[in-house]
């Protein structure tokens, strides 16, 4: 597991003024991404790797141009100088950690004056830049590790039976999603068409989704991959996880209810997935590792390929996650978004390492830049439920909004905003940036 070092020192400040006390991107975070500087800036016009610091983006190719990096940090910088971060993630933790430490020193308050003089050459305004999807995603797998969400959904659909399927506490359940429809925050979400059938209807009809929902999840970025036929042991699985983001697994509930049997999610899930565009590295999250939440006494112990003492001791994360809704009417009135829920990743039943170890346990090969979804993060309390399916009790209990509106599921013009923050006494708080998506009408059938 990653140990703490000078890059986690909360007392250190940056000469980039906006980084000091920044809600998401202080000096102690330094997340990785891909951006294009605004037209008219120096060295503009192409995608390149960058690191967010305060309200600015550090241009990694520009740092190389000025000879500011060396050794393993230069190796990492070269790997992220193109249009994706895949090559960097494939290098594993060593070069990535070296780059983090080198950039920390470049941006720290006590950096040499000569570096600060280069600010116009190596820093760009984030709001004036185009922020891209950080990797070329080869594979996307969405897990179901939010046990409270699984219980809530099970109670809604099987009120007279057991809410969890018999395999849930033995295996990290997942489905394979569609990598081609993953988009960065801010990309509009087109309401999908599909087959849907209400219980009272004799036959399905084809048309716009009636019950469009969000799911509040964390995204997990795979670093170094594994060869086909060579499982990653649980004791090494954490080494293959490069970083994290926010993820919204948009869900067409009415389409899902009709099509999901017997093979699971298909068109109800593959039309769009939103992610926050900055990769918050495993190294940045080191201060916020926590033990995996203890299982109930009657729960089975993880099977050997999922059971590692170190992972159980520090393989989970203390990340507060929040979902907010901004309707078209609220936006027009200049109102603030309404909080739908606030929860924490500590409620996930499986650790990221367990997800990765199980994914490869049959010999499946993962590649750098593959993406996992954690599954919907819901707290035991209803104030922390991570989807409208749960909050509205499958549409039976409308939510009243401060604007006087109500919702069971999402309407056209609604915007979902996901946020996440890590806090700990004695440590600088860090965040993930927002993951936003606004619903557009379905295309004409």
Q: Given the residues 8, 124, 149, 359, select the one marked as catalytic.
A: 149
HSE (side-chain half, CA atoms, 13 Å) at 255: 22
Cβ pair 431, 422 in contact under 8 A: yes
DSSP state of 10: T
Greatest Cα pair distance, the chain, in angstroms, is 75
Q: Is 229 helix (H, G, I), strand (E, B) or coil?
A: coil
Whole-angstrom distance, CA of residue 349 vs CA of residue 148: 9
Whole-angstrom distance, CA of residue 401 vs CA of residue 396: 16
DSSP state of 249: -
Written as six digits, the tokens of 329 are 């009417």
Cβ pair 282, 93 in contact under 8 A: yes
Q: Is the peptide bond before 262 cis (omega within 30 degrees of 0)?
A: yes
Is residue 149 among the annotated active site residues?
yes
Whole-angstrom distance, CA of residue 323 vs CA of residue 248: 10
Whole-angstrom distance, CA of residue 173 vs CA of residue 146: 10
Q: Residue for token digits 């716009």?
A: 208
- In angstroms, the Cα distances linking 435 to 2, 188, 406 are 26, 11, 23
Active-site residue numbers?
149
């Amino acid at each position: 597991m990653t140990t703490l070092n000078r890059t986690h020192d909360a007392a250190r400040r940056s000469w980039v003024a906006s980084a000091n006390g920044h809600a998401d991107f202080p000096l102690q975070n330094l997340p990785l991404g891909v951006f294009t500087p605004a037209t008219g800036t120096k060295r503009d016009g192409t995608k390149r790797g960058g690191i967010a610091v305060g309200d600015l983006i550090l241009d990694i190719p520009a740092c190389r141009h000025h000879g500011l990096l060396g050794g393993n940090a230069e190796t990492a910088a070269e790997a992220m100088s193109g249009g994706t971060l895949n090559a960097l993630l494939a290098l594993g933790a060593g070069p990535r950690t070296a780059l983090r430490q080198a950039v920390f020193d470049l941006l720290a308050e006590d950096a040499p004056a000569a570096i600060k003089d280069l600010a116009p050459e190596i820093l760009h305004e984030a709001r004036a830049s185009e922020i891209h999807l950080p990797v070329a995603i080869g594979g996307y797998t969405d897990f179901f590790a939010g046990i409270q969400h699984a219980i809530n959904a099970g109670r809604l659909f099987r009120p007279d039976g057991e809410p969890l399927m018999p395999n849930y506490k033995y295996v990290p359940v997942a489905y394979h999603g569609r990598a081609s429809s993953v988009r960065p925050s801010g990309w509009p979400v087109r309401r999908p068409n599909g087959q849907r059938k209400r219980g009272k209807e004799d036959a399905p009809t084809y048309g716009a989704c009636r019950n469009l929902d969000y799911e509040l999840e964390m995204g997990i970025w795979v670093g170094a991959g594994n060869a086909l036929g060579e499982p990653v042991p649980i004791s090494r699985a954490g080494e293959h996880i490069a970083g994290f983001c926010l993820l919204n697994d948009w869900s067409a509930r009415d389409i899902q209810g009709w099509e999901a049997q017997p093979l699971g999610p298909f068109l109800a899930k593959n039309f769009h997935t939103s992610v926050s565009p900055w990769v918050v590295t495993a190294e940045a999250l080191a201060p916020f590792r926590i033990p995996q939440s203890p299982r109930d006494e009657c729960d089975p112990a993880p099977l050997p390929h999922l059971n590692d003492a170190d992972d159980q001791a520090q393989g989970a994360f203390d990340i507060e996650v929040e979902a907010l809704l901004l309707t078209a009417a609220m936006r027009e009135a200049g109102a603030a978004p309404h909080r739908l829920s606030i929860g924490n990743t500590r409620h996930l039943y499986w650790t990221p390492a367990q997800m990765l170890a199980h994914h490869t346990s049959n010999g499946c090969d993962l590649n750098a830049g593959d993406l996992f979804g954690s599954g919907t993060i819901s707290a035991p309390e209803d104030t922390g439920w991570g989807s409208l399916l749960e909050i509205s009790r499958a549409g039976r209990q409308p939510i009243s909004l401060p604007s006087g509106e109500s919702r069971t599921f999402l309407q056209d013009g609604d915007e979902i905003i996901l946020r996440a923050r890590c806090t700990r006494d004695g440590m600088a708080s860090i965040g993930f940036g927002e993951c936003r998506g606004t619903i557009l009408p379905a295309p004409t059938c």
